[in-house]
């Protein structure tokens, strides 16, 4: 339908309008082994401003550095903020590759909508991100297990103390060259079932990457560490429905009492689970391999019973940061449940899955999920 002349169509993000300001003071680089996770920022960042009156302004790539904001900015007071986590990999030919970036764009728009932040054209933002990656390509470590972590983030800069719908916002894409997420690498971790603090509940915001979901989980991490575990496994309700662990989606490979192998992961429909792109990829690959995937609300009892009867063969978490994290044990009500060691050894389901994901991410095999940007 034609727009009537008096309806002003506000501009969306337009990559063709991108302005680039090169840094005059390159930041210090370090050896890949010293990178850690998310400590080092690369030379440039992408910045786009939005206002209800003007829509999306021209995107800008600027030297990474501090930003000035009005102290009343909504983000500081009401946490009106959402983010994404994605990675760019360098393959053995030195090409830069992204992994299913359109999924991150879709999810960020869903998160933004939940917080009444503006939506944007994801294809255009990906084009801008590609430029950002090309500009800082020397920052991307060319080593398996290493990558450029990309952190898109959008927040309300509306400068009033009144809580209202966003009228001014900012979108950044920050870049951090990273090494393996867990210092211990692919060593199995122990999860602490946290029944005290609830991460997500039906009708809440657990299914969007909203900053406010994460602040309250620091206490759970501390409780997990006190219990001698490395991450919290979040459950909710008296049934203790399994949701996620740390910032990872959870999978359990369980042999049914009749002997069939089933890969369990909590389903998305009640809104308690962050729809992970690694999660989706694991589900799709598992189905391709002929593994039965059970995507349903998952009571912890199913897992605990399977552990007690030696039917829980494997458990692992998934997420962009760690890709896949083996779980070696669970602690529930002070009791330890240990999983079999061959569950995370060479040849296990999860190690095959990890190898497959990495092959795709590092472009060792041609696959439509890997977007090569040269
Ligand atoms: C980001 C995130 C994940 C993982 O999502 P990916 O798209 O696989 O990186 C899982 N759980 C939570 C709570 C998250 O924030």
| Cα–Cα dist 129/19, whole Å | 13
The pLDDT value recorded for residue 5 is: 63
The pLDDT value recorded for residue 275 is: 98
| Cα–Cα dist 272/236, whole Å | 9
The pLDDT value recorded for residue 186 is: 81
Ligand 1: distance of its center to the CA of 321 in Å?
A: 8
Architecture of domain 189-361: Alpha-Beta Barrel (3.20)
| Cα–Cα dist 222/230, whole Å | 9
The pLDDT value recorded for residue 257 is: 92
Per-residue pLDDT of the chain (374 residues), as tens digits, is 555 566 789 999 999 999 999 999 999 898 888 898 889 999 999 999 999 999 999 999 999 999 999 999 999 999 999 999 999 999 999 999 999 999 999 999 999 999 999 999 999 999 999 999 999 999 999 998 999 999 999 999 999 999 999 999 999 999 999 998 766 668 899 999 988 899 999 999 999 999 999 999 999 999 999 999 999 999 999 889 999 999 999 999 999 999 999 999 999 999 999 999 999 999 999 999 999 999 999 999 999 999 999 999 999 999 999 999 999 999 999 999 999 999 899 999 999 999 999 999 999 999 999 999 97
**Protein residue closest via CA to atom 14 of ligand 1:** 247
The pLDDT value recorded for residue 185 is: 65
Contact 96, 140 (CB under 8 A): yes
Ligand 1: distance of its center to the CA of 282 in Å?
A: 13
Q: Where are the beta strands (DSSP E) in 137-247?
A: 147-156, 168-178, 189-194, 231-236, 241-245
The pLDDT value recorded for residue 209 is: 98
**Protein residue closest via CA to atom 4 of ligand 1:** 319
Determine which helix (DSSP H) or strand (DSSP E) holds 254, and give its type and residue range: strand 248-255
Q: Is the CB of 209 under 6 A from ligand 1?
A: yes
pTM of this structure: 0.95
CA 245 to chain centre: 13
| Cα–Cα dist 306/328, whole Å | 14
Q: Is the CB of 322 under 6 A from ligand 1?
A: no
Tally of helices (H runs) and strands (E runs) in the chain = 7, 19
Contact 207, 249 (CB under 8 A): no
Q: Enter the DSSP assignment of 77.
A: H
The pLDDT value recorded for residue 182 is: 66
The pLDDT value recorded for residue 191 is: 97
The pLDDT value recorded for residue 7 is: 75
Q: Where in the chain is the domain with CATH 3.20.10.10?
A: 189-361
Ligand 1: distance of its center to the CA of 275 in Å?
A: 7
CATH topology of domain 15-178: D-amino Acid Aminotransferase; Chain A, domain 1 (3.30.470)
| Cα–Cα dist 332/196, whole Å | 12
Helix (H, G, I), strand (E, B) or coil at 3: coil
| Cα–Cα dist 112/108, whole Å | 6
Q: Where in the chain is the domain with CATH 3.30.470.10?
A: 15-178
Beta bridge partners of 364: none
Q: Where are the beta strands (DSSP E) in 4-70?
A: 19-20, 44-51, 55-56, 60-63
Of the residues 201, 249, 265, 272, which should be mutated to test ligand 1's pocket, given the most ligand atoms within 8 Å of the CB? 249
**What tokens does 25 get?**
């003071």
CB count within 10 Å of CB 195 equals 16
β-pairing, 86-90 vs 147-156, is antiparallel
The pLDDT value recorded for residue 183 is: 67
Contacts of 243 (CB under 8 A, 6+ apart): 199, 200, 206, 234, 235, 236, 250, 266, 272, 273
Q: Enter the DSSP assignment of 196.
A: S
Of the candidates 81, 106, 101, the residue with the CA atom closest to the CA atom of residue 172: 81
Contact 175, 42 (CB under 8 A): yes
The pLDDT value recorded for residue 36 is: 86
Helices (H), the chain: 74-78, 101-114, 122-135, 218-226, 277-288, 300-308, 349-361
What is the Cβ-side half-sphere exposure of residue 360, based on CA atoms within 13 angstroms? 19
């Amino acid at each position: 339908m034609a727009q009537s002349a008096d309806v002003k169509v506000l501009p969306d993000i337009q990559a063709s309008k991108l302005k680039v300001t090169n840094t005059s003071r390159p930041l210090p680089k370090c050896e890949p082994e010293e990178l850690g996770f998310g400590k080092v920022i690369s030379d440039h960042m992408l910045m786009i401003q939005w206002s209800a009156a003007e829509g999306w302004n021209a995107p800008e790539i600027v030297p990474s550095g501090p930003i000035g904001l009005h102290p009343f900015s909504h983000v500081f007071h009401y946490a009106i903020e959402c983010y994404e986590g994605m990675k760019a990999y360098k393959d053995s030919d030195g090409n830069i590759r992204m992994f299913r970036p359109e999924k991150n764009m879709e999810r960020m728009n869903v998160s933004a909508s939940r917080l009444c932040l503006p939506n944007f054209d994801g294809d255009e933002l990906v084009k801008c991100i590609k430029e950002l990656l090309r500009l800082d390509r020397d920052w991307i470590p060319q080593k398996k297990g290493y990558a450029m972590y990309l952190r898109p983030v959008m927040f309300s800069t509306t400068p009033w103390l009144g809580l209202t719908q966003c009228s001014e916002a900012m979108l950044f894409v920050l870049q951090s060259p990273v090494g393996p997420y867990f210092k211990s690498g692919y060593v199995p971790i122990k999860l602490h079932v946290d029944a005290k603090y609830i991460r997500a509940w039906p009708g809440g915001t657990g299914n969007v990457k909203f900053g406010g979901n994460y602040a309250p989980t620091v206490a759970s991490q501390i409780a997990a560490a006190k219990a001698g575990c490395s991450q919290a496994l979040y459950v909710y309700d008296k049934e203790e429905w399994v949701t996620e662990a740390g910032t990872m989606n959870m999978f359990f490979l369980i042999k049914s009492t009749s002997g069939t192998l089933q890969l369990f992961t909590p389903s998305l429909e009640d809104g308690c689970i962050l729809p992970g792109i690694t999660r989706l990829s694991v589900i799709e690959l598992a189905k391709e391999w002929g593994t039965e995937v059970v995507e349903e609300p998952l009571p912890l009892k199913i897992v605990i019973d399977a552990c007690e009867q030696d039917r829980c063969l494997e458990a692992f978490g998934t997420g962009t940061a760690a890709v896949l994290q083996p779980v070696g044990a669970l602690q529930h009500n002070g009791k330890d449940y240990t999983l079999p060691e061959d569950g995370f050894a060479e040849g296990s389901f999860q190690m095959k899955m990890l190898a497959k994901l990495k092959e795709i991410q590092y472009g060792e095999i041609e696959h439509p999920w890997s977007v090569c940007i040269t």
